[in-house]
Structure 1
Amino acid sequence: MTIEQLRHQQAVGFRRLRFQPALESRYRDIRDQGIRERARPVSASALVLFLVYSLLDWAMLPDSLARQTVFIRLLITCPTISLVWWLSWQPLRPGVFLRFYGLAYLVGGLSVIAIIGIARLAEFPLPYEGILLMLMFGYFAMGIPFRLVSTLSLILVLTYLAMEYVTGMPLNELAINGFFIMTANIIGMVGSWLSEHRQRAHFLDRQMLEALRSQAEKESERKTSLITVASHDLRQPLNIISLILENLRADSLPAEQSALVDRLKTSVAHFNGLLASVLDISRLQEGMVKPETEPLTPARVLEQLQQTCGERANNLGVEMVFRDVSDGKAVMADPQLLHRILQNLVFNALDHSAASRIEISVGSADGQLAFTVSDNGRGIDQATRARIFDPFFRTCRSDDPGLGLGLAIVRELAELMDGTCTLDSDTDNGACFRVALPACQPHQVTENTLSFSPDSPHQGLLVVEDHDESRHWMQRILSGWGYDVHAFANAEQALEHSEGLSNAILVTDLHLPGEPGDQLFATLSQRQAISGGVMVTADTSMAEGYNPSRRLWTLHKPLQPMRLRAALQQLMRR
């Protein structure tokens, strides 16, 4: 049922212990299953009680009377109870077991009345409390639905009164017994109604929670789909714009037009950063980011950070200093997520601190490895420090054009890897961010599993991109950097051209028609045609970063030319 139907049911209530037809059917199915499970311990305990009563009959009643009562208990009541216990384990149609269960209650009650009646005829009076116990047993212990148990209990009460009348009980005594038994029956009816009403209320609450959970899951799936589509469909045109602007910048332009191109490139980069931040925080909130931790040596982490951030720092005239005092320990972290954390912190310092020097250091303490990113910039005031990690928090400075998501993403990523990110800032001495992650013992990591000769010259770049315009501008940029570029529209063309190649570098889009980019990389690596590669994708569910065991970079669209150039230079050097 829909949430609206469930809310309507809650609004109109169910004092008559009935839901709307569709909901009533589901409730009865679940109720019947619950009664079957409840009947197992109840029937087992009832069977034990009747066997105990049989022994008491032999011990306390005259022999002639005991033979009759024990016969009723052992040959009628106990087999009926045993049948109920056996049926509770059988695959019966909905509602069938409940009828047998109610019938067993009726048979049990009638057997008690029969025993009292036989005792009356034998002039050995038994107290009528036995029928009271049977009524309470049906109402509360057995948990039979209100209407059914009320009907059966009324039949038992009337049968008992008729039996007492037939066996000659005086009318005044019969009236007194009848009053107490009817009072007990009414109490049981009220308790049974309240119990079923509570069960139905709990059932309705569970259905509402289930409907809300299902709605939330569907909404999450829609958000995930939207994030994926937005990530791809928005990044692709931005990628083309970035590639065109990089080619324009390489050309000889008049000063005024060159300045306009630089401003346009800055605006595009800013928009790309905003888009990436929004998509990243959305992926984190939707649980789309799953860390895959492994032991990482601090030296490798710092080297990769220097390669991706060094050129930007040089362009801004900022000195970057790296220090490793980790005492040979490793850090247990996802290499791509850790790189993203440190990159965000470095870029944050480059963009907002007005610093001339940034120091990145690694040290160990208390079973953790701590990465600190400190600068000598203007620092962070006390009021800002309290909210610096809040999503969408921005300072009041006019030169802060971001959305306030970068540091929120950093803390989220650190916590995903069982780490922390904290700020130790002094207004006069810049800012210092500390990322602490679990430390571990380093293990031998093979930096290169591909077979190639590092002394042999590289045989150029293989560019595989199915989008014609992206492929054209990518080829122009790489050729402008001095590379020998061979561009192809699909994997089949690249595989055909790769015959006889060795030690080349592959630059490929992930989503290609036919054979995807990661499979193409694996095939060319197996042929020893390439010595490394760069995987380009608009799918932000794949984290950016470098995989040293495969010698493979993963970069997101739109491409930042300086990152692509740094990745290629690293692959060429190794």
Structure 2
Amino acid sequence: MDKLTLINHTMAKGFPWLKFPKPLEADFQGFVRQRVLNRVLPVGISAAIFVLLFCALDWYLLHPRIATHTTIVRIGLVLPIIIIATAWLYFKPPKYYLWVYSTSLLISSLSIIYIIWLAHIQGINLPYEGLMIVMMYGFFIMALPFYLALGINLLVVIIYALTEPLYFLDFATYVNHVLFLTTILISAAIGAYVTEHNQRANFLRKRTLDIHHEKTLHSIKQKNKYLAAASHDIRQPLQGITLMGEVLKKSQPDNKHIQSLNQGIQTLNTMFTQMLDISKVNLNLIQPKMDSFSLIDLIEQNTQSFLPRLNKMNIELKIHIEPCHIRSDFTMLSRILHNLLENAISHSKCNEITISSKTVNHQVELTIIDNGSGISKSIHTSIFNEFIKGNESQDGLGLGLAIVSQFCQKLAHPLAFHSEHGATRFSITIPEVLDHIDGDSPNNIKPKILLIDDDPDVLSNITALLNQWGYDVSCVTGIQHAKHNLNKDWFCIISDWNLADGCGEEIVKYANENKTPSILISTHASDTITTCAKRYNSFFLQKPISPSRLRAKLINIK
């Protein structure tokens, strides 16, 4: 019987004796332990205060000789036990924590009985309110299990009844005291029983929710794994298409057909990436990969696809970016910029968008401003929540700005927002990278790159791209071929993970041993591959490779 079935069976059958089947009872006792230990400190402090308060009352109500005796009991015995038990349970609770906890309660109760008895033999009719207080502590404040609290308090009432000196009290008074405490005991026990029964019922409900939540997360993770596996065969041809489009754009920058082709490729890449990543956002599976790269490159990369649409809608795009390098995650920051531009174009009814930057104290403030109708004040406080849309935004799900906010939090980039009619402003603060060294070498000496991949199309496309960037590229198709060339002075070694005659781990391991920078590429981003990259100080890029991310990795090599 699985745990969920066991819970449903227990709830249907009931638990009048406050006991669960063994697997559930073990879980509940763990819950009780945490609940007790969470309140140890406030319980111990309040109990110590009560001891000191009753000590003061002794001096007010009793003869000084008796007050001296009771003070010794309270300050010399009870208070140290409370302090020791509280400190022990708070700082290093043992497995038998309930024995320590309940023993301190029992000793406190017995000390009160002793003090009442001591007062009575001196002819002083001391009230028994102290016993009522410790009884409430045992049943409710200390959160002891019901049967343990009932046993201790029942024992205390019996001891009180047996030690109450009949020869100093008339029988009617004696019976009145004992019956009153017994009534308090029964009333408190009923209340404690109902309280623990409700706690157990709530515990079962919470465990049911937890199990359903765990199953839901497991189901989502399985679907994500399936989606990632299915995407493997799509990534490889998409990689080739992306790189070929980039090469064509460089060779024929004014060709409108090539521009349209690249716009479609970029849109396809964006949609495909979103399809894989959006389900991971709420599962916290997307983690930043911090690089340093040119802010101008970031802006150019992410505004090109919008230009035809901007021209068609007669929206003027103004860019005022200071030349600088920043440290961030290129992909996540690109998504942020894309969503902000998309929001301005689709919903603001503007005719001008300005992207600008300024650097203050090595912090770059990137700002996107539109001159549209503004965002309704009624949603200013919730604009970054999921599924929030203004009255003018009928399309979409209202997730764009929520993703912007979540990504900025993950990147630790402060995000600011201000909107009124005629101006909506989003500002992101990003750390500046100082003393950045570009990948291109001076004196016209081309940095040498060794490229290892068994796919001829990938070799051809990446080589063409690297040649355009000013690198001298040597291509090999496998590990055996690469080993004959590894001992040369390479600026960087780029290797695929899956090679026909082995694994790229051998390549990046050799590069690390010879202090040569390396980049590991693969269609998968498994833990094995990313761990290998970290172990050998290699960069990792997942196919399809973004030219800008590849460029950022190369210019980050010093």
2:428 to 408, 421, 437: 437
Instruction: Name the amino acid aligned to 1:444.
Output: L
Gaps spanning 5+ residues in structure 2: where? 249-257, 528-537
Residues 406 and 508 of structure 1, relative CA distance in 2, 3 Å threshold? farther
Gaps spanning 5+ residues in structure 1: where? 252-260, 427-431, 542-551
Q: Give the drift of 1:115.
A: 3.2
Show the counterpart of 2:271: 274
1:337 to 332, 337, 350: 332
Show the counterpart of 1:126: 124
Show the counterpart of 1:149: 152
Query: Are 2:437 and 1:447 equivalent residues in the alignment?
Result: yes
Conserved? CA contact 1:463–1:475, under 8 Å:
yes
Show the counterpart of 1:544: none
Residues 540 and 345 of structure 1, relative CA distance in 2, 3 Å threshold? farther
Q: Distance in 1 between matches of 2:98 and 2:465?
A: 79
Q: Distance in 1 between matches of 2:25 and 2:353?
A: 68
Show the counterpart of 2:459: 475
Q: Distance in 2 between matches of 1:197 and 1:96?
A: 24
Deviations 1:258-312 (A, max 9, x none): xxx9999998876543331122322322223445789x89xx3123432565589
Q: Give the drift of 1:57.
A: 5.8
Q: Indicate the percent of aligned positions where both proteins have the same amino acid.
A: 16
Residues 495 and 202 of structure 1, relative CA distance in 2, 3 Å threshold? farther
TM-score normalised by structure 1 residue count: 0.61
Conserved? CA contact 1:292–1:333, under 8 Å:
yes
Conserved? CA contact 1:452–1:502, under 8 Å:
no
Instruction: Name the amino acid aligned to 2:227.
Output: A
Q: Distance in 1 between matches of 2:549 and 2:94?
A: 68
Residues 495 and 310 of structure 1, relative CA distance in 2, 3 Å threshold? farther
Conserved? CA contact 2:154–2:185, under 8 Å:
no
Query: Are 2:278 and 1:284 equivalent residues in the alignment?
Result: no
1:417-566 equivalent positions in 2, closer than 5 A: 417-420=413-416, 434-438=425-429, 444-448=434-438, 452-453=441-442, 455-457=444-446, 462-465=450-453, 468=454, 471-477=455-461, 486-488=474-476, 493-494=481-482, 496-502=484-490, 506-509=493-496, 514-516=503-505, 519=508, 523=512, 526-527=515-516, 538-539=524-525, 556-559=542-545, 563=547
Q: Give the drift of 1:554.
A: 7.3
Conserved? CA contact 2:357–2:365, under 8 Å:
yes
After superposition, the CA RMSD in angstroms is 6.3
Instruction: Name the amino acid aligned to 1:557.
Output: K
Higher relative contact order by CA 8 Å / sep ≥ 6: 1 or 2?
A: 1
Q: Secondary structure at the match of 2:445?
A: coil
Conserved? CA contact 2:123–2:168, under 8 Å:
no
TM-score normalised by structure 2 residue count: 0.62
Deviations 1:518-554 (A, max 9, x none): 94796499448x9xx795655499xxxxxxxxxx997
1:271-350 equivalent positions in 2, closer than 5 A: 272-291=269-288, 300-306=294-300, 310=304, 323-324=319-320, 334=329, 336-343=331-338
Residues 425 and 525 of structure 1, relative CA distance in 2, 3 Å threshold? farther
Q: Distance in 1 between matches of 2:157 and 2:550?
A: 88
Q: Secondary structure at the match of 1:497?
A: coil
Show the counterpart of 1:139: 135
Query: Are 2:119 and 1:111 equivalent residues in the alignment?
Result: no
Q: Distance in 2 between matches of 1:222 and 1:518?
A: 37
Q: Distance in 1 between matches of 2:308 and 2:368?
A: 20
Residues 407 and 520 of structure 1, relative CA distance in 2, 3 Å threshold? farther
Conserved? CA contact 2:370–2:424, under 8 Å:
yes
Show the counterpart of 2:172: 175
Q: Give the drift of 1:374.
A: 6.4
Conserved? CA contact 1:420–1:437, under 8 Å:
yes
Q: Distance in 2 between matches of 1:456 and 1:345?
A: 40
Residues 194 and 249 of structure 1, relative CA distance in 2, 3 Å threshold? closer
Conserved? CA contact 2:310–2:316, under 8 Å:
no
Instruction: Name the amino acid aligned to 1:147.
Output: L
1:14-163 equivalent positions in 2, closer than 5 A: 16-24=17-25, 30=32, 34=37, 38=43, 42=47, 46=51, 49=54, 53=58, 59=64, 70=69, 89=88, 91=94, 93=96, 95-97=98-100, 100-101=103-104, 104=107, 107-108=110-111, 111-112=114-115, 114-115=117-118, 119=121, 125-127=123-125, 129-130=126-127, 132-143=128-139, 145-160=148-163, 163=165
Instruction: Name the amino acid aligned to 2:114.
Output: S
Q: Distance in 1 between matches of 2:47 and 2:495?
A: 68
Q: How many residues align?
A: 504
Q: Distance in 1 between matches of 2:4 and 2:135?
A: 33
